[in-house]
Structure 1
Amino acid sequence: MEIEVTSSSSDIEKGVIHSQGVAYLVWEDLTVMLPNFGQGPTKKLLHGLSGYAEPGRIMAIMGPSGSGKSTLLDTLAGRLSTNVVMTGNILLNGKKRRLDYGVVAYVTQEDTLLGTLTPRETIMYSAHLRLPTSMTKEEVDDIVEGTIMEMGLGDCADRLVGNWQVRGISGGEKKRLGIALEILVRPRILFLDEPTTGLDSASAFFVVQALKNISRDGRTVISSIHQPSSEVFALFDDLFLLSGGEAVYFGEAQLAVQFFAESGFPCPSRRNPSDHFLRCVNSDFDVVTATLKGSQRLRETHKSDYLMNMATAEIKELLASKYKHSPYATRARSRMRELLATQGVEIEIVKGSQAGWGKQLLTLTRRSFVNMSRDKGYYWSRIVIYIIVAFAVGTLFYDVGTSYTAILARGACGGFVTGYMTFMSIGGFPSFIEEMKVNIHFLYMILIFSPR
């Protein structure tokens, strides 16, 4: 069977977008293990996974909780912790090489944003911290405005992000803002860890639609996702379905329904395909079935529902076995060989932040002052307290004289002021933690993806 290629992929292969430095990512026989270190059996997190991701397409890594979605995503992005062992190959444009900063961006589940800034200010400060110092203000402004429009943040660009004190932008807009911060440096590969978590169906749709638009720019987008709606699922080009660290299906997302039907597990006409896939491979449903066994409801439905008559482990094993010998797996292996033989254009490596040290210091200082000045609980209330305490201490020790006893009074005054200022400085710890999270996330992204 021939491999169907979308128009965007055809343009890329013809070289229309090659000048930008596209990224073909291929992984072969990836196995990830958690060693026991003498405290039990070795645990396999991923079992010999192979696949590929192409520019101009968006891939969904889907599966039940604990199936290995985040582990596969972290493995491909080079973010695995040091206590796990990985075997297999990850190749970029046919070569085994490190995925560097500027080539790869990773969007985590957590939103590391300052609630006192607006989306436009957040992106602007990030741009000044990461883009080259040689760029003019007009060039930086153009990139910031282009990023805002690309992520659909125009309507909320000048509203505060919001925190526990101030109501701000919605959860979906925060997710899109987090993605906007990562695409500032125009990475060729974008990884996202469950970007629709905690969002309603409309917000999730807008987030994935924004990712779809990013992929059309010739970028490779890989996202883990738990249980998307049918509208969201239809936006994905490719699907990697996992269960227990094993591949159940890999190929075009729209052909997954056909594969399940050919394997003997057709998706009902009115059911969300992603719900059906997870129903077939999620072992948690076995617990539910066992709990309901013997009830009237189960006796009424078990004859018509073939999923009730088979254990999930049995279904998963059957699907995995059928996939390995299916035309879908054959097409995937054939496409992998083609991509491995492709000598892609060398992608320019960015060695960390391109902004100068002085510009970064100035930007961080300015951002810190803006953050503090807008935080009424941290900044303005403390100023009022300091003024009141200064007035009280000043009146208490006013005109103490120059006698011997005045020396003790002056010492007591100095000790009180020093101790009070020391303990009051602890009040700024929450604000410090908030900024530290943002800065550590930015620093971690640079260190983890910087060339060595």
Structure 2
Amino acid sequence: MTNSDSEMGMMLKTDEDRVIHGSTITFNSINYTVFSKQYVFCMKPTKKQILYNLTGIFKPGMNAILGPTASGKSSLLDILAGRKDRRGLTGQVLIDGQPSMQDFKYRVGYVVQDDMLSETLTVRENLTFSANVRLPRNISSKDKTAIVDRVIKQLGLDKCADTRIGTENSRKVSGGERKRTNIGMELVLSPTVLFLDEPTTGLDSSTANSVIECLGQLSKKGHTIIFSIHQPRYSIFKLFDNIFLIAAGHCIYHGPASDVLSFFTTTGFTCEEHDNPADFILDISQGLRWTSCVNIENEIEGEGQKKDKIARYLHDVYIKSATYTSINQQIANVSIVSNEEKPIQPRSESRSALIKMLYVSQRTLRKSFRNPTLMVMQTIVPICLAIFIGFLYCNTSRTLENGIKNRFGAIFFIVCNQVFLNLSALELFIKDRSLYIHENASGYYSTLIYFISKLLCDILPLRSIPSVLFSLIAYFMIQFQQTVTKFFIFLLTIFMTAICSASICFFISASVESFALANLITAAYCVTMLVFTGYLLDVTTTIKFLAWIKWVSIFRYASNAITVNEFTDLKLCQTNNTNICLINGEDILKDQKIDYSTTWDLWANFVALGIMIFVYFILTYVQLLRIQKAK
């Protein structure tokens, strides 16, 4: 039996029979430096060291990383979980004494500080999604359901299992239930190691206590629980097995939680009888409660320098202690034992890319149907505008004056309508950005799967159907030329204009994090492109350094396509009641300097729109990759 088979068998055992053999994480000489540019145009990035020579061991049980704000807790947690870029990182992290596999970050559970859940799905549906896209393909749907049910029972989520998560403004489940659901998203993997970044943030004291107690129960089943926490109350602190106390990037204590007070007592600090030990040690790490026996300069300029010196002093005290010697001996013992064991086997393959895409698409559509406001309005508004345009230009005549003017007016209105209606696509990659970053980093799906799924679930219901409905109403009410070929060319133009407009929004939404900034950029872009439609400006007379803009204007290609389609073979007469036609539509096209003489002159507009769609799709995908890499 392979390691993977035994792991799967262990997943399916009942709570009473299941025994998790948690991994032991050891790390040696961890140093971490970040590089950042102080100014936008600064050529040379500045360096700032976050962690200094950290060494430690986390065994199965409750392992807490404590420290003041900005002390490096989250950075250390990310490094241990394999979630930090290797640039600026030195040192070694071992799993059971062996180098971690490349896919280690996908084999462990990681619960981020903020709740990462699909708000319109129920607790059970969120857990089921995690199981479907992350568990190995050799586990049946029935077994996955059993795993989800077991996790729900294990975390005490039975009563809210079929309740939707809800938004921040209209919560359906409590804060503690949301946090436990986040933990459950990772527990479906039955990970040997579970990382949590500040799991009590945003929770009241009672709820925070229940969450930590829940983690304590998991640790008793054999899980290695590693979490960062800022300032726990005593009822929480007493549940810790081991702590790693960090200040300004330096380790100032690492060992059993029960020994921390005696360690600092020998250093010269005394915790008062009714004082919270967690508050006591955090105060020490920040330079508070110092006694005269500590020889340190108090008149150092700059608060940051003072904190650094305090941290270095406490670190020096720690590395000279018996506790530090004991930790190093434990690390050495883990290495000796593990050298005799077999290497860690890579995990079994999870679902295929196609199946993952189906699950991601299913979730996206389910979220849309359960919050149908956008989908409904994206359909109703085009219908209303089509009717309005239809009445506005109803029975467009074939007379020289009104026929020409109304046709150009209708075409301009239609193109503007199609571009601006599809700006709703701006929120696509902004709204769920944090969820995408977390799920992508946790191995739920690849960037390509996410990208294609989001496109399909946006384009098919929100761009295609409204385009068809708009075309059917507007074309025949305006009474453009009544031929099948010309109608379908009009429909194709409307559809491609909608997709091209949406593709620009996709790119912008993947490039910026703020919806307000995305709106500003899109408005500036659209107004600029609108000028080069051909109706507001003779593009042939534009100054040279601006003339290139006409080649990237959606408005120009869309209006040219509809104009050529409508005006070719059109006869314009003096009045509607005469067959004496003084001018052909082709003459109008020639007067407007629009090419029409060959079939290519019409289809070149569709090729241009297609190229723009393709380019913006590629740029959007590149931006999503950039987001994933940056985080």
Specify the TM-score bucket, using the shorter chain as the normaliser: 0.7 to 0.9
**Match of residue 373, structure 1, among 369, 373, 378:** 369
Local SS of the residue matching 2:26: strand
Local SS of the residue matching 1:192: strand
Q: Deviations over 1:68-126 (max 9, x none)?
A: 21221122222223542x33222112222336244223222233322222222222222
Of 34-43 and 163-172, more deviation after overlay is shown by 34-43
**Which residue of structure 2 lines up, in the alignment, with residue 24 of structure 1?**
24
- The answer on 1:241 being equivalent to 2:241 is no
**Alpha-carbon distance between aligned partners in 1 of 2:83 and 2:235, rounded to the nearest angstrom:** 31
CA contact (8 A) 2:23 2:96 kept: yes
- What is the total number of aligned residue pairs between the two structures? 412
Shift of 1:430: 2.5
Matches within 5 A, 1:224-373: 224-283=228-287, 316=311, 319-343=314-338, 344=341, 346-350=343-347, 354-373=350-369
**Alpha-carbon distance between aligned partners in 2 of 1:448 and 1:140, rounded to the nearest angstrom:** 18
Of 428-437 and 364-373, more deviation after overlay is shown by 428-437
Shift of 1:408: 6.8
Of 176-185 and 40-49, more deviation after overlay is shown by 40-49
Local SS of the residue matching 2:165: coil
CA contact (8 A) 1:22 1:345 kept: no
**Alpha-carbon distance between aligned partners in 2 of 1:98 and 1:181, rounded to the nearest angstrom:** 22
**Match of residue 83, structure 2, among 73, 79, 82:** 79
Over aligned residue pairs, what C-alpha RMSD do you find? 3.5
Local SS of the residue matching 2:116: coil
**Which residue of structure 1 lines up, in the alignment, with residue 387 of structure 2?**
391
**Which residue of structure 2 lines up, in the alignment, with residue 129 of structure 1?**
133
Q: Which letter does structure 2 place at the counterpart of 1:98?
A: M
**Alpha-carbon distance between aligned partners in 2 of 1:41 and 1:165, rounded to the nearest angstrom:** 40
**Alpha-carbon distance between aligned partners in 2 of 1:436 and 1:413, rounded to the nearest angstrom:** 38
**Which residue of structure 2 lines up, in the alignment, with residue 11 of structure 1?**
none
**Match of residue 420, structure 1, among 412, 417, 440:** 417
**Alpha-carbon distance between aligned partners in 1 of 2:101 and 2:47, rounded to the nearest angstrom:** 27
**Which residue of structure 1 lines up, in the alignment, with residue 219 of structure 2?**
215
Shift of 1:340: 1.3
CA contact (8 A) 1:212 1:235 kept: yes
- The answer on 1:434 being equivalent to 2:431 is yes
**Match of residue 95, structure 2, among 89, 92, 95:** 92
Q: Deviations over 1:185-236 (max 9, x none)?
A: 2222222221212221112112222222222332222111111111111121
Matches within 5 A, 1:81-120: 81-84=85-88, 86-98=89-101, 100-120=104-124
CA contact (8 A) 1:93 1:345 kept: no
Q: Deviations over 1:153-210 (max 9, x none)?
A: 2232222222256333233322222222122222222222212122211121122222
**Which residue of structure 2 lines up, in the alignment, with residue 140 of structure 1?**
144
Q: Which letter does structure 1 place at the counterpart of 2:365?
A: F
Unpaired stretches in structure 2, ≥5 consecutive residues? 1-16, 38-42, 299-305, 447-631
Residues 18 and 331 of structure 1: CA distance in aligned 2, closer, same or farther (over 3 Å):
farther
Shift of 1:239: 0.3
Shift of 1:253: 0.9
Normalising by structure 2, we get a TM-score of 0.58
CA contact (8 A) 2:23 2:224 kept: yes
- The answer on 1:68 being equivalent to 2:65 is no
**Which residue of structure 2 lines up, in the alignment, with residue 33 of structure 1?**
33
CA contact (8 A) 1:373 1:380 kept: no
Q: Which letter does structure 2 place at the counterpart of 1:52?
A: I
CA contact (8 A) 2:82 2:105 kept: no
Residues 164 and 49 of structure 1: CA distance in aligned 2, closer, same or farther (over 3 Å):
closer
Of 419-428 and 396-405, more deviation after overlay is shown by 396-405
Q: Deviations over 1:54-74 (max 9, x none)?
A: 12x121110112222122112
Larger radius of gyration: 2
**Alpha-carbon distance between aligned partners in 1 of 2:445 and 2:240, rounded to the nearest angstrom:** 28
Residues 200 and 36 of structure 1: CA distance in aligned 2, closer, same or farther (over 3 Å):
closer
Residues 383 and 168 of structure 1: CA distance in aligned 2, closer, same or farther (over 3 Å):
farther
Shift of 1:317: 5.3
Of 266-275 and 405-414, more deviation after overlay is shown by 405-414
Q: Which letter does structure 2 place at the counterpart of 1:365?
A: S
CA contact (8 A) 1:21 1:345 kept: no
More helix as a share of residues: 2
Local SS of the residue matching 1:210: helix
**Match of residue 52, structure 1, among 53, 57, 79:** 57
- The answer on 1:444 being equivalent to 2:441 is yes
Q: Deviations over 1:288-335 (max 9, x none)?
A: xxxxxxxxxxxxxx9x9999x995867655543443233322322222
Local SS of the residue matching 2:183: helix
CA contact (8 A) 1:280 1:316 kept: no
Local SS of the residue matching 1:268: coil
- The answer on 1:201 being equivalent to 2:188 is no
Local SS of the residue matching 1:446: coil
Shift of 1:244: 1.7
Residues 98 and 202 of structure 1: CA distance in aligned 2, closer, same or farther (over 3 Å):
same
Unpaired stretches in structure 1, ≥5 consecutive residues? 1-16, 287-301
Of 394-403 and 256-265, more deviation after overlay is shown by 394-403
Of 413-422 and 104-113, more deviation after overlay is shown by 413-422
**Alpha-carbon distance between aligned partners in 1 of 2:182 and 2:27, rounded to the nearest angstrom:** 27
Q: Deviations over 1:355-403 (max 9, x none)?
A: 1222222222221222112224423344443343233234334444677
Q: Which fold has the larger relative contact order, with Cα–Cα distance below 8 Å and residues 6 or more apart in sequence?
A: 1
Local SS of the residue matching 1:342: helix
**Alpha-carbon distance between aligned partners in 2 of 1:36 and 1:277, rounded to the nearest angstrom:** 32
**Which residue of structure 1 lines up, in the alignment, with residue 601 of structure 2?**
none
Residues 315 and 244 of structure 1: CA distance in aligned 2, closer, same or farther (over 3 Å):
closer
**Which residue of structure 2 lines up, in the alignment, with residue 171 of structure 1?**
175
Local SS of the residue matching 2:442: helix
